[in-house]
């Protein structure tokens, strides 16, 4: 998923570059590049999220956490991972429902006529993958394979 996110970012960069060249040199911008960039940015974030979670790349505040006994650190890590998974699952569900509504009313992007509901449901599926990533992290922490908020392998 991270490779897909990077590929999307690269494609957006190249499309934006080509659009700038076409606009300022040939006075003929490429139609729909702004819209593709809008959609692509959202997809980049959602594609990268599960990988970031699995690598424990999320921001952690460890002011007190490092002073906890190991068992309490493990318990807190499991609890926060499960909470993160539950929140991601809830958000995925709500995005999915919004996508259904958009599909039902036929909402599409302005220039390229891309169905916004399909984009939203793709993001919902990726958010569900993020929920799964949090759950896997919780299981690893429960087994003692991942240490605390810093994510150090033991």
Cα within 13 Å of Cα(126), Cβ side: 21
Q: What is the 3-state secondary structure (H, E, C) of 72-140?
A: HHHHHHHHHHHHHHHHHHHHHHHHHHHHHHHHHHCCECCCCCCEHHHHHHHHHHHHHHHHHHHHHHHHH
Is the pLDDT confidence value at 152 over 60? no
Query: According to the model, what pLDDT value does residue 151 have?
Result: 52
Round to the nearest angstrom and report the end-to-end CA distance of the chain: 26
Confidence of residue 148 (pLDDT cuts 50, 70, 90): very low
User: Per residue in 96-135, pLDDT tens?
Assistant: 999 999 999 999 999 999 999 999 999 999 999 999 999 9
pTM for the model: 0.86
User: Per residue in 95-107, pLDDT tens?
Assistant: 999 999 999 999 9
Total domain count, the chain: 1
Q: Measure CA 65 to chain center.
A: 26
Contact 65, 76 (CB under 8 A): yes
For 118, the domain range is 2-153
């Amino acid at each position: 998923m991270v490779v897909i996110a990077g590929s999307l970012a690269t494609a957006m960069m190249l499309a934006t570059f080509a659009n700038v060249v076409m606009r300022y040199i040939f006075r003929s911008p490429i139609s729909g590049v702004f819209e593709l960039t809008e959609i692509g940015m959202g997809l980049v974030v959602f594609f990268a999220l599960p990988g970031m979670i699995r690598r424990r790349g999320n921001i952690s505040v460890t002011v007190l956490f490092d002073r906890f006994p190991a068992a309490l650190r493990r318990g807190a890590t499991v609890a926060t991972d499960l909470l993160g998974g539950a929140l991601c699952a809830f958000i995925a569900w709500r995005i999915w429902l919004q996508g259904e509504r958009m599909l039902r009313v036929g909402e599409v992007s302005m220039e390229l006529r891309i169905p916004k509901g399909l984009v939203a449901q793709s993001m919902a599926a990726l958010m569900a993958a993020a929920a799964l990533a949090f759950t896997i992290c919780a299981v690893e922490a429960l087994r003692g394979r991942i240490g605390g908020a810093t994510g150090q392998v033991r």
